[in-house]
Amino acid sequence: MLRDITLGQYYRTESVVHRLDPRVKLVATFVFIISLFVAGNLLGYVVAALFLALCIKLSNVPPKFIFRGMKTIFFLLMITMVFNLFLTPGVPLVSFWKFTITKEGLRMAVMMAIRLIFLITGSSIMTLTTTPNHLTDGLESLLNPLKKIRIPVHEISMMMSIALRFIPILMEETDKIMKAQMARGADFESGSLINRAKSLVPLLVPLFVSAFRRANDLAMAMEARCYRGGEGRTKMKPLIYKKIDVNAYIVLAVYFALIIVAGRFDLLKFIGM
C-alpha cells in the first residue's frame, strides 16, 4: 500500500530526460509551472498537455507509474474542484437548493483541476528522472547567487537532499514495522476512526525512534568524514552543460513562446462559446 506513493521517488531507467543536467530539469519544471498559469485558455492547455506527453514519452517512465502518484492528491483535487464549482460568482448555469453552479465556476473548476494534475505530473517527471543527489546539486548551483544576500544555500540544499534521501528509507521502515506489529496481531485497517488512530501508536513510536537513531548515525558519519559545511567544498562530479542541455533549453523556450502565442488566440471564442 505504501508503494503507491511515487512522489519524490526515482525511477531507474535509461532515457534522454534522465541524462539531462539537473539544472535544466529544475528550470524546465519551474517554467512549466509558470506556463500553466500563463495559459488561461483551452488551446494553452492543449499545448501544455502535448509538451507533458512528449516529456513522459522521452523519459521512458511507464505512464502508469506516474499517474499512480495521483491517488494521493485525489482529495485535494476534489476539494478544490467543489469549492470553485460552487463559490465562484457569475452567470448561473444550474441551481438547486442553496447551491448554484455558474458558468465561470465550472470553467474555474475544470481549469484548476487541469492545472493541479499537470503541476503534479510535471514535477513527478522531474523527481522520477533525477536522483535526489543530482537534484540538490542542481538546486544548489541554481541558487548560488543568493549566497550574496546571506541565504545559506548549501545548508538548505543539504537538508533537502537528506530529507529526500530518507523518504524511501522511512517508507521501507514503516512497511517493516507495520508487518512486525501485524505479526503480533495488530490491525491497521478496520475499526472506528478513533480506534484506527490509536492503532497507529505501535507504528509511530518505533518509527520516530528509528528516525532519530538514523539522524544521529548520519550526523556522526558526516562528522567522521570532516563535514563542515559548504565552504571550500569541491564536487567529484561538477555540473557542466552539454549540447543536449542546450537543445533542451531551446525546446523549452519554444514551448514557452507557444504558450504565450496560444494565450492570444482564444479557441473558445473561435468555436463560438
Partner 1 sequence: MSIILDHVNYIYDEDTAMAHAALIDVNLNIPKGQFIGLIGHTGSGKSTLIQHMNGLAKPTSGTVYFDGADINEQGYNKKNLRAKVGLVFQYPEHQLFETDCFKDVCFGPKNLGLSQKEVELRAYGALKQVGFDDEYFYQSPFDLSGGQKRRVAIAGVLAMKPEVLILDEPTAGLDPKGRDDILSLISKLHKEMGITIILVSHSMEDVADYVDRIIVMNKGRVFFDDVPKNVFAHYKELEEIGLAAPQVTYVMQELSAAGLNVDTNATTITEAKNEILKALKRC
Interface pattern 154-193 for partner 1 (x via CB under 8 A): ----------------------xx-xxxxxxxxx------
User: Angle at Cα 73 formed by Cα 193 and Cα 158, nearest 5°?
Assistant: 105
Residue closer to partner 1 (CB basis): 173 or 266: 173
> Is 113 one of the binding residues for partner 1 (CB under 8 A)?
no
In whole angstroms, the minimum distance from the beta carbon of 114 to partner 1 comes to: 27
Which residue lies nearer to partner 1 by CB, 2 or 87?
2
Q: Which stretch binds partner 1 (CB under 8 A): 21-29, 97-105, 123-131, 199-207?
A: 199-207
Q: Which of 2, 4, 13, 34 binds partner 1 (CB under 8 A)?
A: 13
Tell me if 35 sits within 8 A of 255, measured CB to CB: yes
Show the cell assigned to 95.
Answer: 441551481
Closest among 54, 59, 56, 67 to 14, alpha carbons compared: 59
Which one, 190 or 234, has the nearer CB to partner 1?
190
Closer to partner 1 at the Cβ: 15 or 80? 15
As measured in angstroms, the least distance from the Cβ of 123 to partner 1 is 20
Q: Is 195 in the site for partner 1 (CB under 8 A)?
A: no
* Beta carbon of residue 172, minimum distance to partner 1 (angstroms, whole number): 12
Using the minimum distance from each CB to partner 1, give the nearer residue, 88 or 131: 131
Q: Which is nearer to partner 1, 204 or 246 (CB)?
A: 204
Q: Is 149 in the site for partner 1 (CB under 8 A)?
A: no
Chain contacts with partner 1 (rule: CB under 8 A): 3, 11-13, 62, 64-65, 176-177, 179-187, 201-202, 205-206, 209-210
